Chain A
Amino acid sequence: MDSDRDSVEQLLKGLKNLGYKSEAIEQTNILLRKIKNDLIDILILAVDTWGGGHFELIPVIKKLNRSLPIIAISGDDSLETAARVREQGVFFYALKPLDMHEIEVAVKNALARKPTFQRPIAVVRQPVAKSEPEHEILNINEASRILKLSKRTLGNLAKQGEIPASRVANRWYFVRDQICEWMRIRAAGNQVNYSALILETMDEGVAVVDRRLKIVSCNSAYLRALDVPHDCVIGESCYRVSHRSVVPCDESTCPVRKAFKTQQSEKTKHINYDNEGKERYCDVVALPIKDMHGNVTSVLEVIRDNTEIYSLNRHLNGIMRFFARESKATLGSVMMNISALADESLSVTIENSKRNEMLVSSLCSLKLMHDMIRNYIVSYQVENGRLKCNKSMVLVADSIIHPVIAGSAPLLKKKAINIDTSIEQLRPAYCDAELLKVALTNMINSAVKYAAGGSKVQCTVETDDGNLVIMVSSVGVGIPYDKLQVVSNGSFDLEQQDMSDAEMGLHIARTIAEKHDGILSIESGYLIGNKPISFYEFRTNEQYSSLEKVNYREFATFRLRIPYADRHWENGGDK
């Protein structure tokens, strides 16, 4: 193969005279295809054909057919070119002008060393049919069709070394099986990327753990769940990452180890703690990943944070307990009253005044039940951080005080309690009227609970040092000292089975006060004359400790104090 016509003709003629069949090939792809298809016994290659010292074709040829003898010819007699040609592993290197005798000896020797040579008469043999042209040499057009890539893209990939290719005379050439292999690897690479993407789209923390319990992949949620950086996870033992332990977990408790053993999915419950020390209730699920033979090669560890579900369950359980208890106990009197009134034979025996009492009593029970349901809902919102405080400018007396007192009428009537209200001339307050109505309702319900029948409940609303103060007080049995501590300072716990409605209501009122940057203070003690002395003071102050408490009435006072939001006014109010 030579572009030097004279040399080519000299060679073809000389070889023919020597009895060899020879052929001149000008196109590289044809040459490479013939080599791949083993149609050539000896290649005589003009290495300066490619100009500028390009010897790229020799390695390609060697790759296609390592045993093909190459006789390189060149017009460049420099030692540098000779050395570079020799480095490529050619059989013989001849300089132009060609010495046919020299070529004849070289051809003879080359054929003699070629073990499979049968007919030393030709340089080019007749084509032999090949059933699998996987080693076929492709030009960029053919490769482009196979790979379904544009020639430009394919050229860029070849230039960047992304795809196996050879550049010969400014053209790219490809070997079919090489580009097919490249396509397979690339597809596999894409599969890996899809796996990572799928992991990443999962909200749950997910890691892939191999048989040595090393983490080979994980998603961001996993890193967040365990609060560890990516660099410290991949290749690390799962027990080091998840439990900060230097030894593996016991097989009986570790779902990952169990999944490797049982070859089935395994699950266990964990309580983790977040950065704030709050409990997170997690299911750790281990899902075995099997190879084509059914062997578990790795395990997908999924951390499902079920804290919200757990919290919801707690509340649902609380509400179910509440309904079970209240529907049977609180509704007990309602059912008895209403069913008696509905029973014709019984009803006729009941006087009108009694009928009225029974209806009021029932209405009162239902009202208290309504308030309790509302408190449960608010408590759920509080616990989940979903209690919204939608503040606006509110006329306190009209929007809060009067409606709540009107709604408390059945309760007050049942215990024959009057309510005295004292409301200052108030300016509008910046608050959530609905939440303050809940708080005031709970304060009144508690005051009535601790009031003596036939007594009075005092409701005072006033301005005090830039604060709106709503006070509800009653005289009666007072709040037992131990309960006072619970409602004043105790934390709210829905699972506390014996928490009374009043306790829950006061907790809710306290939370609502805090939502308004205010406080709820609760006092109970003895009225000595008109002077209220707290139980604590009565116990600890010598002045009172000697007094006989049986002589004094007990009081309960609930005081809600919230800022008037003057800053809001100063800032121009709602804009």
Chain B
Amino acid sequence: MKASKNILIVDDDVDFVEATKLVLEKSGYHVETCMSAQACLEKMKVKVPDLIVMDVMMETDHSGFDLCREIKRNQDTKEIPILMLTAVDEKYRMNFGTAAGDESWLPVECYIDKPVEANVLLERINKLLGE
């Protein structure tokens, strides 16, 4: 049941976090938010989410990369699916879509380019959570 699934949104864009939180909550998910990699790790010590929606760039350009590798290295959190959202592919000139899933580089289950429509995001999340 959606109501039993917890999603953690990690992004420093307040407007985006607010909008996404609203969309996910209205779709029946329980949503928590944080705005930095450090805050994410702290939150996961208290409660492990069922899925993480994460932006690549937060405090630094690499915060999201470092955070997802840290999560995947930890035995307690490595099974949590990560959906990465970002707007940095133009800057890095790389295809994040094909890099996603490479454990040595971008160990995330799914990658979506920003901006994303609400129904597309929901569809991916539902799929990752087996809904």
User: A and B: partners?
Assistant: yes
- A-side residues, CB < 8 A to B, are 321, 324-325, 327-329, 331-337, 339-340, 343, 346, 349-350, 354, 358, 361, 364-365, 497
B39 near A: Cβ within 8 Å? no
A346–B27 Cα distance when bound, in Å, is 7
B41 near A: Cβ within 8 Å? no
For B114, the chain A residues whose CB sits under 8 A away are 328-329, 331-332, 335
A-B contact pairs, 18 of them (CB 8 A): A324-B87, A324-B91, A325-B90, A325-B91, A329-B114, A332-B16, A332-B114, A332-B116, A335-B115, A335-B117, A336-B116, A340-B22, A340-B26, A346-B23, A346-B27, A346-B119, A346-B122, A497-B91
Contact between A340 and B113 (Cβ–Cβ < 8 Å)? no
Contact between A336 and B23 (Cβ–Cβ < 8 Å)? yes
On whether A336 and B113 interact (CB within 8 A), knowing A324-B91, A325-B91, A346-B26, the answer reads no
On whether A333 and B16 interact (CB within 8 A), knowing A324-B87, A324-B90, A340-B23, the answer reads yes
Q: A340-B19, A346-B26 are in contact. List 10 more A-B contacts (CB 8 A).
A: A329-B114, A332-B19, A332-B115, A335-B117, A336-B19, A339-B119, A343-B118, A346-B27, A364-B15, A365-B15
A365–B91 Cα distance when bound, in Å, is 22
Contact between B117 and A339 (Cβ–Cβ < 8 Å)? yes
Contact between B87 and A325 (Cβ–Cβ < 8 Å)? yes
Contact between B118 and A339 (Cβ–Cβ < 8 Å)? yes
Identify which of residues 90-119 in chain B touch chain A, using a CB-to-CB cut-off of 8 Å: 90-91, 113-119
Name the contact of A331 in the complex, choosing from B23, B26, B86, B115 (C-beta under 8 A): B115
Identify which of residues 3-45 in chain B touch chain A, using a CB-to-CB cut-off of 8 Å: 13, 15-16, 18-20, 22-23, 26-27
What 8 A-B pairs have minimum CB-CB distances, sorted nearest first?
A: A328-B87, A335-B115, A333-B15, A324-B90, A339-B117, A336-B19, A328-B114, A340-B118
A329–B36 Cα distance when bound, in Å, is 16
Return B9 CB to nearest CB of chain A, in Å: 11
For A358, the chain B residues whose CB sits under 8 A away are 19, 22
A336–B116 Cα distance when bound, in Å, is 6
A57–B67 Cα distance when bound, in Å, is 107
B121 near A: Cβ within 8 Å? yes
Contact between B118 and A332 (Cβ–Cβ < 8 Å)? no
On whether A337 and B113 interact (CB within 8 A), knowing A328-B87, A346-B118, the answer reads no
A324–B86 Cα distance when bound, in Å, is 11
A480–B99 Cα distance when bound, in Å, is 36
- B-side residues, CB < 8 A to A, are 13, 15-16, 18-20, 22-23, 26-27, 85-87, 90-91, 113-119, 121-122
Contact between A328 and B19 (Cβ–Cβ < 8 Å)? no
Return B69 CB to nearest CB of chain A, in Å: 23
Return B27 CB to nearest CB of chain A, in Å: 7
On whether A321 and B22 interact (CB within 8 A), knowing A329-B13, A335-B116, A343-B119, the answer reads no
A339–B22 Cα distance when bound, in Å, is 12
Q: Quick one: closest B residue to A326, CB to CB?
A: B87
Return A453 CB to nearest CB of chain B, in Å: 10
A321–B89 Cα distance when bound, in Å, is 11
For A327, the chain B residues whose CB sits under 8 A away are 87, 115
Return B66 CB to nearest CB of chain A, in Å: 18
For A336, the chain B residues whose CB sits under 8 A away are 16, 19-20, 23, 115-118, 121
For B121, the chain A residues whose CB sits under 8 A away are 336
Most B CB contacts (10 A, CB to CB) among A329, A335, A365 go to A329
Most A CB contacts (10 A, CB to CB) among B13, B16, B86, B122 go to B16
Return B61 CB to nearest CB of chain A, in Å: 9
Most A CB contacts (10 A, CB to CB) among B85, B87, B91, B122 go to B87
Q: Quick one: closest A residue to B26, CB to CB?
A: A349
Q: Quick one: closest A residue to B85, CB to CB?
A: A332
For A328, the chain B residues whose CB sits under 8 A away are 86-87, 90, 113-115
Q: Quick one: closest B residue to A331, CB to CB?
A: B115
Return A334 CB to nearest CB of chain B, in Å: 7
A254–B55 Cα distance when bound, in Å, is 49
Q: Quick one: closest B residue to A415, CB to CB?
A: B14
On whether A333 and B22 interact (CB within 8 A), knowing A343-B118, A346-B119, the answer reads no
For B23, the chain A residues whose CB sits under 8 A away are 336, 340, 346
For A346, the chain B residues whose CB sits under 8 A away are 23, 26-27, 118-119, 122
Return A331 CB to nearest CB of chain B, in Å: 5
Contact between A354 and B22 (Cβ–Cβ < 8 Å)? yes
For B113, the chain A residues whose CB sits under 8 A away are 328
Name the contact of B13 in the complex, choosing from A333, A335, A497 (C-beta under 8 A): A333
Q: Quick one: closest A residue to B87, CB to CB?
A: A328
Q: Quick one: closest B residue to A453, CB to CB?
A: B14
Return A151 CB to nearest CB of chain B, in Å: 77
Name the contact of A361 in the complex, choosing from B18, B26, B118, B122 (C-beta under 8 A): B18
Return B74 CB to nearest CB of chain A, in Å: 28
For A364, the chain B residues whose CB sits under 8 A away are 15
A334–B115 Cα distance when bound, in Å, is 8
Contact between A361 and B90 (Cβ–Cβ < 8 Å)? no
Most B CB contacts (10 A, CB to CB) among A334, A336, A343 go to A336
